[in-house]
Each structure stands twice: as structure tokens, then as C-alpha cells.
């Protein structure tokens, strides 16, 4: 078990050292199409901004439709926002929506279509397949597929959440405690994700992001103290810490879901499958570490101070995020 913990530590250290400084950089573009009368649509197009530049992508429709600008470009919460008016003699079902330049990017596009008769569609386009034919009949299965995919992509792109899970592994002793700790984290962030999505509780994103970074730093410090023979609440009952900070991380997930958007007629379904996607991605991350542990266990002897080096690596990364986000908070 001692060697196993060293292997866990070494892998987590590698992840921390190669992770980029930012977090939550994988955000989809968002296309909302609302039918306001027969053959006439309001179109909202949100594109992620990197630095001061918006991605050069734009939706296109079949030749039977005409797309015209309706208002000036605006910047809102890291997105460039464009508004259009779409007109056509035929309905959108059966037509093709495409984003040609999407192949040159690494982002997905979430498309929500709301028709005048209450019919609603949700689907995702990606760089490999930057077009989709709007089905004649909407499907709840399509909503589920769309949001579980977005959930997986969000957690695997949310490096700070993954670093928190990696840091928890450093203070957990035994497989049963690891299971209990991850379960507590999952339950907690699911609670606040649901409450925040339905507007029952709320916290502004900048303080939440700062405290998420601080939570990673705190757990990393506890991992160092544990290797020095010092114990605390965090190391004796790591599931308590996981639950407490999981409530905070849930606000981060809710903020990401707010950026993505939810289909107004299928909010419970979309929320359920987004959360299932987050959990699936989290399990994939842990399973990947376990698989590497098994492989390295056959051939690698790690230095005894690998867990301490790991904790310092994760702690340094978290410290950078804390100060970076404090700067944004007080800017």
C-alpha cells in the first residue's frame, strides 16, 4: 500500500507540473435560435473570447434562409455576443445548420432551437463534424446526449477540479476511504449545482473561483503535514473536507452551466445529464490514474519523498491561481 500511494503521488505530480495555469478554458460557443413568428427567428450567437480576440466562427444556414445582423457586438462574461435575425420560407426542421470555420478550432458549439409551437431541440457540433441536420422530431435522448457530453468535457477541462481530486488522493488512506471521500465530494457539488441552477442559492463567480483555488491549496498543505507525521480533521476524516469544499465546487459547475445555457423546456433533464457527465469525467480521471498506477507498479520504484513533491507541486499551482484570481477579484 505504501508503494501504491507513492505511485498515486508521482502521477498526480506529473499532472500538476504539466497543467496550464488557467482553468475552465474549454467553453463551447452557444447558438440560441428562437422562432418569433412563422419563418422568422431571433438568433443569439455567443463565442468564447481568448485574450481580447473572439474566435472567427459564424453560423450558416441553408440557402433558403437569410441571416442579417440585428444589433452591435457586445462582450459579456468572456464571450463575444452577436444578435441576428433569420428569415426563411421553410421551417428549420429538416434544414442544415453549420459552422464552417469550426474545424480550425478546439471548441464545440451548443445549439438550442425553440420553435413557436413549443417544440425544442438541443444538440452539439464539434470541430470534427461542424454541421447538423435539424431533426423533424425532437428527442429527449438528444438532450441527454448533448448535456452528458458537455459535462464530461467540462470536468476534464476543469483543471482546478481535477487537481482538487488529485490532492484528496494524497490525504486518503485505503480504498474504502477513497470511495467514501469521492462520494462525499460528488454528493456535495451535486447539491449546490442543483440549488444554484434553480436560483435557490447564488454566489458571484470571482469569489467562488478564488475559494476553489484556496481549497486545493489547503488540501495540499494537509498532505505535506500528513507526511511529517501531523494529523488533523482533514487527514482523519477527508470525506468531511471533501463534502465541505464540494459544496463550493458545485457553484463553479453551476457557473459553467450558466455560461453554456440550458434548454428552458428540458431543464431537469439537461441538469441531470450534465451532472452525470461531470461524474463520468471524474470517474474517468480516477480510473486513468489507477490504470497508470497498475502499469507503473510493475516497473517503477519511486523516491520516498514523491508524495511531498506532489503536494508542493499542486500547492504551487493552487497558490498561483489564488493570487491570479484575487487580482481579478479586486481589479
For residue range 214-239, what is the model confidence (pLDDT) as tens digits? 999 999 999 888 888 887 877 888 89
The boundaries of the domain holding residue 122 are 29-137
Higher-confidence residue of 82 and 119: namely 82
Q: Is the pLDDT of residue 1 over 60?
A: no
Give yes or no: residues 117 and 182 share one domain.
no
Q: How confident is the model at residue 195 (pLDDT cuts 50, 70, 90)?
A: very high
Nearest to 162 by CA among 281, 257, 248, 255: 281
Q: What is the pLDDT of residue 22?
A: 46
| pLDDT tens digits, 11-38 | 555 555 554 444 444 578 889 999 999 8
Strands (E), 56-206: 60-61, 65-69, 74-76, 79-88, 96-98, 109-114, 120-125, 131-133
- At 143 the pLDDT is 83
State yes or no: pLDDT of 6 exceeds 80: no
Tell whether 2 is covered by a domain: no
Which residue, 84, 114, 137, sits at the end of a domain? 137
Are residues 182 and 253 both part of a single domain? yes
Between 19 and 320, whose confidence is greater?
A: 320
Within this chain, do residues 114 and 75 fall inside the same structural domain, yes or no? Answer: yes
pLDDT of amino acid 177? 87
Q: Are 110 and 31 in contact (CB under 8 A)?
A: yes
Could you tell me which of 6, 7, 12, 5 has the C-alpha nearest to residue 285?
12
Question: Could you tell me which residues come within 8 angstroms of residue 275 by beta carbon, excluding any fewer than 6 positions away?
Answer: 151, 190, 193, 194, 253
Q: Is residue 145 part of a domain?
A: no
Helix or strand (DSSP H, E) at 37: strand 29-37
**What CA–CA distance (Å, rounded) separates 164 from 171?**
11
Per-residue confidence (pLDDT) for residue 255, from 0 to 100: 80
pLDDT of the residue at 8: 57
Tell me the pairing of strands 109-114 and 29-37. Answer: parallel
CB–CB of 114/33 below 8 Å?
yes
Least confident of 20-24, 56-60, 281-285: 20-24
pLDDT at 31: 92
β-strands 109-114, 65-69 pairing: unpaired
Q: Do the beta carbons of residue 119 and residue 145 sit within 8 Å?
A: no
Residue 79 shares a structural domain with residue 167:
no
Q: Are residues 179 and 104 in the same domain?
A: no
Q: Are residues 77 and 158 in the same domain?
A: no
Q: Specify whether 37 is located in the same domain as 184.
A: no
Q: Which of 137, 170, 193 is the last residue of a domain?
A: 137
- Please indicate, yes or no, whether residues 68 and 194 belong to a single structural domain of this protein: no
pLDDT of residue 51: 67
Are 36 and 156 within one domain? no
- The helix or strand, by DSSP H or E, that contains position 194, with its residue range, turns out to be helix 175-197
Instruction: Identify whether the C-beta of residue 324 lies closer than 8 Å to the C-beta of residue 201.
Output: no
Q: What is the number of H-type helices and E-type strands within the chain?
A: 9, 11
Q: Which tens digits make up the pLDDT trace of 113-137? A: 888 887 888 888 888 889 988 887 7
Q: How many independent structural domains does the chain possess?
A: 2
With a CB cutoff of 8 Å and minimum separation 6, the contacts of 157 are: 24, 25, 26
**Residue 41: inside a domain, yes or no?**
yes
Separation CA 127–CA 282 (nearest Å): 24
Average pLDDT over residues 280-302: 78
Grid cell for residue 3? 508503494
**Cell numbers found for residue 73:** 457586438
Look at residue 318 and tell me if it is in a domain.
Answer: yes
Provide the mean pLDDT of the chain.
Answer: 83
pLDDT over threshold 60, residue 66: yes
- The answer as to whether 250 is a domain residue is yes
Domain final residue, candidates 114, 137, 160: 137
In the block, residue with C-alpha cell 498506477: 293
* Cell representation of residue 193: 449545482
Report yes or no on 133 lying in a domain. yes
Q: Are residues 65 and 175 in the same domain?
A: no
Amino acid at each position: 500500500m505504501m508503494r501504491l500511494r507513492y505511485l498515486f503521488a508521482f502521477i498526480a505530480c506529473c499532472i500538476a507540473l504539466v497543467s496550464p495555469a488557467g482553468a475552465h478554458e474549454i467553453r463551447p460557443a452557444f447558438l440560441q435560435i428562437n422562432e418569433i413568428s412563422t419563418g422568422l427567428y431571433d438568433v443569439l450567437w455567443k463565442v468564447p473570447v481568448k485574450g481580447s480576440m473572439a474566435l472567427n466562427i459564424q453560423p450558416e444556414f441553408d440557402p433558403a434562409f437569410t441571416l442579417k445582423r440585428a444589433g452591435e457586438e457586445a462582450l459579456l462574461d468572456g464571450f463575444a455576443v452577436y444578435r441576428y435575425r433569420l428569415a426563411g420560407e421553410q421551417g428549420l426542421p429538416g434544414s442544415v445548420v453549420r459552422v464552417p470555420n469550426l474545424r480550425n478550432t478546439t471548441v464545440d458549439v451548443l445549439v438550442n432551437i425553440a420553435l413557436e409551437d413549443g417544440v425544442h431541440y438541443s444538440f452539439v457540433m464539434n470541430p470534427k463534424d461542424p454541421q447538423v441536420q435539424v431533426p423533424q422530431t425532437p428527442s429527449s435522448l438528444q438532450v441527454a446526449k448533448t448535456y452528458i457530453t458537455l459535462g464530461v468535457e467540462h470536468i476534464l477541462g476543469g483543471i482546478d477540479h481535477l487537481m482538487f481530486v488529485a490532492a484528496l488522493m494524497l490525504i486518503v488512506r485505503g480504498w474504502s476511504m477513497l470511495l467514501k471521500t469521492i462520494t462525499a465530494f460528488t454528493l456535495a457539488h451535486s447539491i449546490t449545482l442543483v440549488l444554484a441552477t434553480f436560483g435557490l442559492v447564488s454566489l458571484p463567480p470571482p469569489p467562488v473561483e478564488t475559494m476553489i483555488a484556496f481549497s486545493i491549496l489547503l488540501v495540499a498543505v494537509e498532505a505535506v503535514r500528513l507526511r511529517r507525521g501531523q494529523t488533523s480533521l482533514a487527514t482523519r476524516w477527508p470525506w468531511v473536507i471533501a463534502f465541505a469544499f464540494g459544496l463550493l465546487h458545485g457553484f463553479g459547475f453551476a457557473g459553467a452551466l450558466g455560461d453554456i445555457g440550458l434548454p428552458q423546456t428540458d431543464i431537469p433533464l439537461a441538469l441531470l445529464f450534465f451532472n452525470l457527465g461531470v461524474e463520468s469525467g471524474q470517474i474517468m480521471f480516477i480510473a486513468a490514474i489507477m490504470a497508470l498506477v497498475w502499469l507503473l507498479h510493475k516497473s517503477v520504484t519511486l523516491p520516498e519523498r514523491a508524495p511531498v513533491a506532489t503536494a508542493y507541486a499542486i500547492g504551487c499551482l493552487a497558490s498561483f491561481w489564488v493570487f491570479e484570481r484575487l487580482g481579478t477579484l479586486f481589479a
